[in-house]
Amino acid sequence: MRAAIVTFTCTAIFAAVGATFVRAASVQTLANPVPNGYVKIDGNLSDWLAIAGFPQDTVGDGSTGPARPLDIDILQGAVAHDANFIYFLYRNTGDNMVDVASNWIFIDLDQNAATGAALGFPIGTDFNLGGTGGWNAWANGAFAGPGAGRTVAVGDSDGSGGADFLEYAISRSAVQPGGGTFNPPSGSFDLIFIAEDTTFDTSPNNGTADWFTYNATGTYNPGVPGDADGDSGIDIDDYQLIQAHSFTVVPLGTLGDVDDTGFVDFGDFQQWKTNFPGGVEAAEAAIASLVPEPTGFALSALASIALAAARRKARR
């Protein structure tokens, strides 16, 4: 039944849009390699906060028409990948508008508009993710069958009590209908986020003729343990970067996030101190040589507490 519903809905999209779109250009290319298993498909956005997203869609241009009780206004889209999965995030402004067929991500895996389904958009649709119900493969304009290797979860991003986002994990090794896997031949694929109704909301929406590109090559590089500024060395500059961004969410592995959690905290300070040349005592001496700044005592205080505790323990 789900495959039949999704096939019908895609046909409706084609009928509504027709061939009015003109192939233009990709709006932005992103690449977000993450540590294996970093993204959890659990209806929680915390792991996505440190992952760069595509530009926020225009608010107030939501889909309209009789098919849905509320307009669906796309708000956010993001993609990430590791060695085993490609992950997608789709968020909108409508509570409980992430259902079986309201939200779509059309994916042109081979970046060839002549293959896949020609659904009236400027890319060929080799796969489409549809709400909580659809994950389908298309080949040369024909429905090839339900896709394989998908995990999906929904969640509430604003505490309103209604689900307003979906997150997906697509296996890179599961065999798809017609053969092959969900791995782009060139390493990159094109995609469009779509909210369905008689009038659509699309993202990107620059004249509804553009799309996004995602580069799924590369693996996450954790860098040198304790190196916060990426210069391949461990020194007091790294400590100061960690201190400056302590207790904040940052892009994964940047701005002091040396333990690759997307959040700068005491764990990052500990990793820096442990890997400091000369050991912990040398790190503490380097900190002590700094003139404290009036606005940045957080990690200095933590370091002092940790040092005092260690000395008390040693005296016992």
Q: Which of 111-125, 131-145, 169-183 has the highest mean pLDDT?
A: 169-183
- Which part of the chain has CATH 2.60.40? 2-215
Is 205's pLDDT higher than 80? no
Query: Can you name the residues that pair with 212 across neighbouring β-strands?
Result: 191
Arithmetic mean of pLDDT, 158-164: 89
Top mean-pLDDT range of 21-30, 90-99, 167-176: 167-176
* pLDDT, tens digit, 9 for 90 and up, residues 220-258: 999 999 999 999 999 999 999 999 999 999 999 999 999
Strand partners, 145: 137
Q: Find residue 26's DSSP bridge partners.
A: 211
SS3 201: strand
Q: Output 167 or 122, whichever has higher pLDDT.
A: 167
Helices marked H in the chain — which ranges?
A: 2-17, 236-244, 266-275, 280-288, 298-315
Using left for φ > 0, alpha for ψ between -120 and 50, and beta otherwise, residue 179 falls in left
Q: What is the pLDDT of residue 98?
A: 81
Q: In 3D, which of 80, 134, 111 has the Cα closest to residue 126?
A: 111
Mean pLDDT of the chain: 84
> In this prediction, what percent of the chain has a pLDDT beyond 70?
81
Q: Residue 194, SS3?
A: strand
DSSP character at residue 44: -
Answer whether residue 134 shows pLDDT above 90: no
- 92 burial (CB, 10 Å; 0-12 / 13-18 / 19+) is buried
Assess if CATH 3.30.1450 describes domain 2-215. no
Q: Is the pLDDT of residue 6 over 50?
A: no
Binned at pLDDT 50, 70 and 90, residue 22 comes out as low
55-100 per-position pLDDT tens digit: 888 888 888 777 666 678 888 899 999 999 999 999 988 788 887 6
Whether the pLDDT of residue 3 is over 50: the answer is no
Selection from 158, 6, 172 nearest residue 82 by Cα? 172
Residue 1 has pLDDT above 50, yes or no: no
DSSP assignments along 192-230, one per residue: EEEE-SSB-EEES-STT--EEEEE--------STT-SSS
- Give the pLDDT confidence score for residue 122 in this predicted structure: 84
The SS3 of residue 47 is helix
